[in-house]
Amino acid sequence: MNVVSVVIPTYNRVHVLGRAIESVLSQTYGNFEIIVVDDGSTDSTKAMIAENYGKVRFLSIFHSGVSSARNRGIMAADGEWVAFLDSDDYWLPQKLERQVEFLRAHPQYMICHTNEIWIRNGVRINQGKKHRKSMGWFFKPSLHLCLISPSSVIIHKSVFETCGVFDEQLEFVEDYDLWLRITSRYPVGYVDERLVVKSGGHDDQLSKKIKGIEGYRIHALEKLISSGTVHGDFLLSTLDVYQNKCQIYMNGCKKRGKHHEMQELGKRMERILNISQL
């Protein structure tokens, strides 16, 4: 396998970025490059990289969000395969080796993810059944919530040419949006080993700032339906999940007295359902 390009987006995370980089440098598979994309940090990220990691490719962009940072890394990647690592997460030493072995043994897969360890506020927590991961055609389970962690995935670069990259217009659920586009076209490989440590609970974590995440997922589903790229059984499943999410969200709006938001979503749903019948 040719070089794996490891893309690490970061924003004011100098206190954990070194741990993420060291976890890549400690990999038992050594044919990789590291690209750190600094999303306009105001801390000492640039100086830390220059002082400690001379072989790391460091790219700096104006602060514009994690999607822009990841996309800049994809564009700069020299590798045939791209792996992502969020700067607050880290890998166990055999992560890349296990995935490379899997992909060599199963060349039909162009994307592969792994199981994870979840740490929240320094305490290990168990994943719920709804977060259970698997392999194969992974589109239908992915409709309900984001089941692929960016830090666990390795993707052939050609997949981005087919499916596009992260949507920089989405403030949230940009990974959910991309995984739906990819899993509707490609089966997903899976290494059932806990090879990634996801560290959560800190104050600057993006997921802590999201309110009404289902509203953002609804928007992503509307994008997918309107794109005309899903058909047949996949489209029927998408419409079913979309309508269910809309109904739950509108019921919540009704309880909270958000009647205007409820009516607007109802109009959008009617328009999207009409588009799906064209």
Compute the half-sphere exposure of residue 275: CA atoms within 13 Å on the CB side of its CA: 18
Give ranges for CATH 3.90.550.10 in the chain.
4-209
The structure's pTM equals 0.92
Q: How large is the angle between the packed helices 213-227 and 174-183, nearest 10 degrees? A: 30
Dihedral in degrees, nearest 10, Cα atoms 93, 74, 219, 242: -60
Confidence class of residue 132 from pLDDT cuts 50, 70 and 90? confident
Q: Is the dihedral of CA 117, 119, 123, 126 positive or negative?
A: negative
- Strands, DSSP E only, in the chain? 4-10, 32-39, 57-61, 81-84, 90-91, 111-120, 123-125, 154-156, 189-200
Confidence class of residue 101 from pLDDT cuts 50, 70 and 90? very high
Confidence class of residue 79 from pLDDT cuts 50, 70 and 90? very high
pLDDT at residue 57 in the model: 97
- The whole-angstrom separation of Cα 245 and Cα 267 is 15
Confidence class of residue 130 from pLDDT cuts 50, 70 and 90? confident
* pLDDT, tens digit, 9 for 90 and up, residues 175-226: 999 999 999 999 999 999 999 999 876 555 555 455 679 999 999 999 999 9
Any idea how long the chain is?
278
- The whole-angstrom separation of Cα 181 and Cα 160 is 10
pLDDT at residue 71 in the model: 98
Average pLDDT rounded to a whole number, residues 144-166: 96
Average pLDDT rounded to a whole number, residues 95-113: 97
Confidence class of residue 171 from pLDDT cuts 50, 70 and 90? confident
* pLDDT, tens digit, 9 for 90 and up, residues 224-240: 999 999 999 999 999 99
Please determine, for residue 151, whether its predicted confidence score (pLDDT) is greater than 50.
yes
pLDDT at residue 201 in the model: 61
pLDDT at residue 127 in the model: 79
- The whole-angstrom separation of Cα 195 and Cα 119 is 13
Question: Comparing C-alpha atoms, which of 42, 195, 207, 172 is closest to residue 114?
Answer: 195
pLDDT at residue 208 in the model: 47
Percent of all residues in the chain with a pLDDT value above 90, rounded to a whole number: 85
Tell me if 117 sits within 8 A of 144, measured CB to CB: no
Tell me if 132 sits within 8 A of 26, measured CB to CB: no
Average pLDDT rounded to a whole number, residues 43-61: 96
Note the CATH architecture for domain 4-209. Alpha-Beta Complex (3.90)
Please determine, for residue 1, whether its predicted confidence score (pLDDT) is greater than 80.
no
Average pLDDT rounded to a whole number, residues 240-259: 94
CA 235, 219, 151 angle in degrees (round to 5)? 90
pLDDT at residue 122 in the model: 83
